[in-house]
Amino acid sequence: MITQINETVEFLESKNILNPVIGIVLGTGLGKLVEKIDIEISIDYDEIPNFPESTMEFHHGKLLFGTLEGKKVLVMQGRYHLYEGYSLNQVVFPIRVFKKLGVQKLLISNAAGAINLNYEKGSLMLLDDHINLQGGSPLLGTEVKTLGNPFVDMSAPYNKEMNEKLKQIAVENDITLHEGVYAAVIGPHLETRAEYRYLKVIGADAVGMSTVPEVIAANHVELPCVAISVLTDSCDPDNLQPINIPEILALAEKAEPKMITLFSQLIKTL
C-alpha cells in the first residue's frame, strides 16, 4: 500500500499537481461545484496509477486540480463505493494520497435518505457523527500502522471548528442546515421498512452508502474533515414509496447551489 501511495503521488506531482491545500470529494449529483473552480489539470481516474476506475453512471471519475476562493484545491469528481466491489482500502486510497500530497483540510459531500422525518427532502444535513454499518474498517491489517496509529479516537470524527464555521455561513446565507448522525450501509439496494425503523431506533438521522470509510481514513492520517449530506428522499417506513432515481438527482441538483455556497465560503476562511 505504501509503495502504491508513493507511486501515485509521484505520478500526480509529475503532472504538476503540487501543494494542494483543500481536498474535496463530490457525491451523487453534486458535480457543479467544479464550475466555480479555475481548473488547471483534469485527469481521468483510469489514467492514474492505482486508482480504480469509477463504475457509477452518476460519478464522473475525474481528479481535478485548480483554484477556488484563492486556495489550491484537489477534487474527486466521483468517489468509490463498497457496492462497486472495491475493498475498503481501495475506497479510501485517494484520501491517503491527498494527505501525502499535502492536503490540509477535507470537505466531503453525499446524497442520503432522511431517517429523521423532520428533515425535509432537498435540505442539507451537516454530519456531527456517524454509525458504521458497512461491516469493516479501512484500518485493518498491519500495513496501516505505517500511516498512523490504527486505534484512532473517533469521539469527534468531524472537525468542530469547520462545522461551526459551516453553521455560521448557513445562518448568514439563510440556508437551512440540519445537523445529525449519518448511518453508512453497504448497498446498493435500498433499505426495507424494518431497516428504516431500526436505523431510527439506533439514532440515525440519515442513511447513505459512502463517506464513513473516507472519514475514518482521514482521521487516521490526521486530516481534519467535514461532510454534508443532501437529503434526497424521505425514509418513512409507514409511507414508503418506490425509489425514484430521477427525483433524487433533481433534488440533489436543486440543493447544489446551497452546497456550493457553504463549501466556497468555508474554503475562503481556511
Looking at residue 60, its pLDDT comes to 67
> Grid coordinates in use for 34?
467544479
Supply the DSSP symbol for 29.
Answer: T
Residue owning grid cell 468509490: 80
CB 119 within 8 A of CB 240: no
Domain count, the chain: 1
> Picking from 37-51, 111-125, 245-259, which range would have the lowest pLDDT averaged per residue?
245-259
pLDDT mean across residues, the chain: 94
What gap in Å lies between CA 140 and CA 51, rounded to an integer?
Answer: 20
Whether 250 has a pLDDT exceeding 90, the answer reads no
Percent of the chain scoring above 70 in pLDDT? 97
Q: For 128-136, what is the mean pLDDT?
A: 97
Q: For 180-198, what is the mean pLDDT?
A: 97
What gap in Å lies between CA 222 and CA 202, rounded to an integer?
Answer: 28
For 164, counting Cβ atoms within 10 Å of its Cβ (0-12 exposed, 13-18 middle, 19+ buried), the class is exposed
CB 237 within 8 A of CB 221: no
Domain of 143 in residue numbering reads as 2-269
- Domain of 181, CATH number, reads 3.40.50.1580
Whether 54 has a pLDDT exceeding 90, the answer reads no
- Confidence tier at 56 by pLDDT (50, 70, 90): low
Looking at residue 221, its pLDDT comes to 97
Closest by alpha carbon to 40, among 8, 79, 2, 66?
Answer: 66
